[in-house]
Structure 1
Amino acid sequence: MQINPAPLHMAQAIIMGLSAAMSVAILGTAAHTLDVFNKQQSSNPWWLPLWPQHFDVNGAKALVGSAVTTLVLCSAFLVVALVPYFNLANKHTLRALLALGTTLPSTLVTLVTVIYAHILNHNAPELDSIQTWTCKYKNSQPIEEDISLPKGMGNGNFGSLCRESKFALYGTLVVFLLLSASMGLAIVTWLADKWAARKTRKEMDANGNAISMS
């Protein structure tokens, strides 16, 4: 039975590439929601500037940190695995160790981040996260005397902030699933590489013996 590990290598690279791309999107959305909160919280009345202790933004910070970690580790794997200079195609065990060494920490970080962010979201309404607050008041209307508030002093962007914060959270969950699949694929790919190398050696030995006998 002949096994071709090349499609497995390609699948692994695609999964890591998707994880890196998703991490860029998560980083952008989570960082944007956090930036808007930091700029408006002390002045925009919709953010309760008199009660800054009502908000817990550690979940958003964790999502940013998780995205950065995943992006760096996935990019490192892709560079080393795809650049011919490193020649990992012929170093099966090293490639597998690199794959596990980059995906395992990322998988753990994303899992912990998703759980942590969900816990913080469930603290509402006692403590609100950016997600729970913006999603709660995205459709609320200002009172009559507040209609003429300057730009940036209302809840007009709460709808987009709600969607962005949700995307960052559930996108991180998707990245966790991708990385989990990548870990399993790393082991399968390593076994396939070993099997293919063993078959190649046997065929070479058989051909060598045949030539010697003739």
Structure 2
Amino acid sequence: MKVNPAPLHLAQTVITGLVVTMSLAIVGTAGHTLDVFNKQQSSNPWWLPLWRDHFDVHGTKGLIASSVVTLVLGSVFLVLSAVPKFNLAGRPTLRALAAIGSSAPSAVLCLATIIYAFVLNNDAPELDTIQTWTCKYKNGRPLQQDMAMTTNMGNSDFGRLCHESKFALYGTLVVFLMLILSTSLGVVGWCADKWAARQTRKEMETAS
């Protein structure tokens, strides 16, 4: 039976490209929520300036860190695949090692980060994360005396921050699933390469 590993390699490359794109978006959204928190927490009454310890932002930082690692490793694999000098297409074992080496560690890191972020979210209301706090009070109405406050002194951005923090968390879950698929394709692609090489050798032996 003839086996063509090329579609598997193409699928893995496309998935890795999607992982890189998604990771970049997560870094942007999670980074924005953390930036707003850091800038406003000490002055915006909606962020409880007197109770800074009420907020735990380690989950957001974890999402940013895992996405950066995933972005870097995925980009390295794409560069190795694109540069002719490395000839990954003609070196199936090296390609498999590069593919699995970039996706498997990222998948483990993403899974750990997702679990950690969900655990922190479940600690509310004792401790709040950016997600739990902004989603809880995004529709809150300011007091009459606070109506004239500037945008960065109210909760007008809470709706956007809520959506961005949710995107960062659930986007990481999507990235994790794509990484699992990419790792699986790396293994299957390597097996397909070996099978195709074996079939080619048999055909050459038969022809001779």
Distance 1:54 1:106 in 2: 30
Match of 1:49 in 2: 49
State the alpha-carbon separation in 2 of the partners of residues 198 and 89 from structure 1.
16
Give the corresponding residue for 1:60. 60
Equivalent residue letter for 1:118: F
> Could you say which residue in structure 1 is the equivalent of 2:178?
178
* Structure 2 Cα separation of the partners of residues 184 and 88 of structure 1: 18
How far is the alpha carbon of 1:140 from its aligned partner?
0.5
Report Cα offsets for 1:146-187 as digits up to 9, x if no partner: 101123100000000000000000000000000011111111
Q: Provide the C-alpha distance between the structure 1 equivalents of 2:67 and 2:90, rounded to a whole number of angstroms.
A: 31
The number of equivalent residue pairs is: 208
Map of 1:152-163 to 2, 5 A cutoff? 152-163=152-163
- SS of equivalent to 2:200: helix
Structure-1 residue corresponding to 2:89: 89
Distance in 2, matches of 1:204 and 1:42, equals 74
Q: CA RMSD in A?
A: 0.7
Partner-residue secondary structure (3-state), 1:125 = coil
Q: Report the AA paired with residue 106 of structure 2.
A: S
Superposed displacement of residue 204, structure 1: 2.1
How far apart, in 2, do the equivalents of 1:60 and 1:45 lie? 21
Aligned twin of 2:72? 72
Matches within 5 A, 1:110-189: 110-189=110-189
Letter in 2 for 1:116: Y
Residue type of the alignment partner of 2:202: K
Question: Residue type of the partner of 2:180?
Answer: S
Match of 1:7? 7
Q: Which residue of 1 aligns with 2:101?
A: 101
* Cα separation, 2, equivalents of 1:204 and 1:81: 29
- Structure 1 outlier segments of 4+, above 6 Å: none
Unaligned runs of 5+ in 2: none
SS at match of 2:151: coil
In structure 2, how many angstroms separate the alpha carbons of the residues matched to 1:197 and 1:90? 11
Amino acid at match of 1:99: A
Shift of 1:205: 2.4
Instruction: Quote the sequence identity (%).
Output: 64
Distance 1:97 1:149 in 2: 56
SS state of the match for residue 36, structure 2? helix
Q: Secondary structure of the residue that 1:131 maps to in structure 2?
A: helix
Give 3-state SS (helix, strand or coil) of 2:42's partner: coil
Q: Distance in 2 between matches of 1:203 and 1:83?
A: 31
One-letter code of the match for 2:4? N
